[in-house]
Amino acid sequence: MPDPIHFPNETQSNAVRETIGRKEPVALRTFTPSQAVLAKSAGSFHWTSEGRRLYDYSSGVLVANLGHNPRRWMQRFADYLGWQPDHLAGDGEGDYFEAVTLTAYNAITEIEARAVERLLGSIQASPGGSRLDTVMWAASGSEAVQKALWACLHADRNREMIIATRHGFHGKKGLAGAVTGSEDDPDRDPRVRFISFPREEIDDAAKYGQEIDLSRYEAELELLYSELGTRINCLITEPYLGGGGSYHPPNSYMQLLERFCRERDILLILDEVQSNFGRTGKMYAFEKYGVEPDFVCLGKGLGNGVPVSATVGRGDIIASLKYGEASDTWSANPLACAAVLATLDEFESTDVLANGERLSTIFFEGLERLKETGLITKVRGEGMVFGIECADAGEMPAGDVANAIVEACYLGEDRSDGIHLLGPLAERVLRVSPPMTMTESEARESLELLYKIIQKLAATLT
């Protein structure tokens, strides 16, 4: 096990890093050069144990779309659960709340029914959501993907093959892991075959939204169908490649996949775990890309910090699953349902999406400016999720440059304010995905700080 990362003048944080580094396996977390220890969070900021403030540029991996610990959201969350002083048992001095049960395995709660109705109402009101009429709850994104694939394969056991777009990330568990990445894994589930996702054609922001030649992708799909035919059960893709390096295709590519599926009675699964609830600029990415999936997998921002995910799809397909075949301990738990309701309330009663649209313009401009430093070569993104691709610096490869940027941003200028980033995706791409509730002044201030930090680092590397 490697030695824990330490930084000077971080006595408290280093002690925490030491405990975690010695008592937990590194396999539990994705490597990030800062290994930031977060003591508290609010809005668009984290604070370290030493009290240093960090702009949050990850939203907890696209989770805190509404910001951290938003007061109105938390009040609604507590209200849905009945966590109020006047709900104390007995004479008001009791040790328990008379509140919503926190365990609902093999039982049904009223709050679950409310969450199902509200979520379906939101989805079906969005263009492209008409096929999605049934909810299967889960606790993580990979579980939602797994359940979608289970339902599709179970509905027609004579069609066992799955198509996935190459370099996607759908999870690490079971079938979700099998449809992640590419065919390079020699132990890949033989039921999974991969097709290309456009990357070269959309490798920079200047090319985003432009139409591309779809003929190679059409030919690839036709070749695969000529080989497998009606053995193909379903096709799964992400709206954009997140973990694969932030590649955002034109609508025409997604519509090609939909058309291919419709003409051959193949089920289309859209994995929106990263992109749902406003990240692409629309409430759901299927609306942004103009497609009607048979299944959509939701997660992360769905609960704004509370672990919850869901597969929402066609009830006629899901109905083939019998009692218990998609159940687990935490699916549809009341905490998750309350979080979903509170999150829907915020999106439906505030200008989160409009604010995200304003921020998107500011971030595109600020991130494009980073190319002036020589350490950033490409910028890709949409809505409020971006990828900045790092360049080689002298003899330092781009992957090491990306790690150096993460560490420099964490330390900030003169160890004052910093920026919290994740480690690089696809070896050299840094994701930028702040809360969608960030203010315009916070956006501009943080982007100016990011520019200064990278500019200063560039001077030491080149």
Burial of 1 (0-12, 13-18, 19+ CB in 10 A): exposed
Q: How far is CA 182 from CA 185, 193, 238, 240, 344, in A?
A: 7, 8, 14, 16, 35
Alpha-carbon gap, residue 338 to 376, rounded angstroms: 41
Instruction: Please tell me the predicted confidence (pLDDT) of residue 462.
Output: 78
Q: Is 233 within 8 Å of 266 (Cβ atoms)?
A: yes
Instruction: Please tell me the predicted confidence (pLDDT) of residue 90.
Output: 63
Q: How far is CA 42 from CA 67, 74, 351, in A?
A: 7, 12, 19
**342: which residues sit within 8 A by CB, 6+ positions away?**
73, 74, 76, 77, 80, 304
- pLDDT of residue 40 exceeding 90, the answer is yes
Which pTM was predicted? 0.96
β-strand partners of 48? 38
Instruction: Please tell me the predicted confidence (pLDDT) of residue 198.
Output: 93
Q: Pick the residue with more confidence: 349 or 84?
A: 349
The percent of residues in the chain predicted with pLDDT above 70, rounded, is: 97
**15: which residues sit within 8 A by CB, 6+ positions away?**
none
Cβ of 104: how many Cβ atoms within 10 Å? Answer: 20
Q: How far is CA 23 from CA 20, 37, 384, 408, in A?
A: 5, 16, 36, 27
Instruction: Please tell me the predicted confidence (pLDDT) of residue 210.
Output: 74
Alpha-carbon gap, residue 232 to 225, rounded angstroms: 8
Alpha-carbon gap, residue 459 to 66, rounded angstroms: 36
| Region for residue 237 given its phi and psi (left: phi exceeds 0; alpha: psi -120 to 50; beta: otherwise) | beta
Q: Confidence class of residue 206 from pLDDT cuts 50, 70 and 90?
A: low
- CATH 3.90.1150.10 spans which residues of the chain? 11-70+351-461
Q: Is 261 within 8 Å of 267 (Cβ atoms)?
A: yes
Instruction: Please tell me the predicted confidence (pLDDT) of residue 209.
Output: 65
Burial of 15 (0-12, 13-18, 19+ CB in 10 A): middle
Q: Confidence class of residue 104 from pLDDT cuts 50, 70 and 90?
A: confident
Count helices and strands (H / E) in the chain.
14, 14
pLDDT tens profile 209-266:
678 899 999 999 999 999 999 999 999 999 999 999 999 999 999 999 999 999 999 9
To which CATH superfamily is domain 11-70+351-461 assigned?
Answer: Aspartate Aminotransferase, domain 1 (3.90.1150.10)
Assigned fold of 110-332: Aspartate Aminotransferase; domain 2 (3.40.640)
> Whole-number mean pLDDT of the chain?
94
Instruction: Please tell me the predicted confidence (pLDDT) of residue 186.
Output: 80
Q: Confidence class of residue 119 from pLDDT cuts 50, 70 and 90?
A: very high
**397: which residues sit within 8 A by CB, 6+ positions away?**
none
Taking each helix axis as running N to C, give the angle between helix 110-124 and helix 334-349, from 0 to 180 degrees, rounded to the nearest 10: 40
Alpha-carbon gap, residue 302 to 309, rounded angstroms: 7
| Distance in angstroms between the alpha carbons of the first and the last residue of the chain | 33
- CATH 3.40.640.10 spans which residues of the chain? 110-332
Q: What is the mean pLDDT of residues 36-41?
A: 97
Q: Is 362 within 8 Å of 444 (Cβ atoms)?
A: yes
Q: Confidence class of residue 17 from pLDDT cuts 50, 70 and 90?
A: very high
Instruction: Please tell me the predicted confidence (pLDDT) of residue 2.
Output: 78
Alpha-carbon gap, residue 167 to 141, rounded angstroms: 17
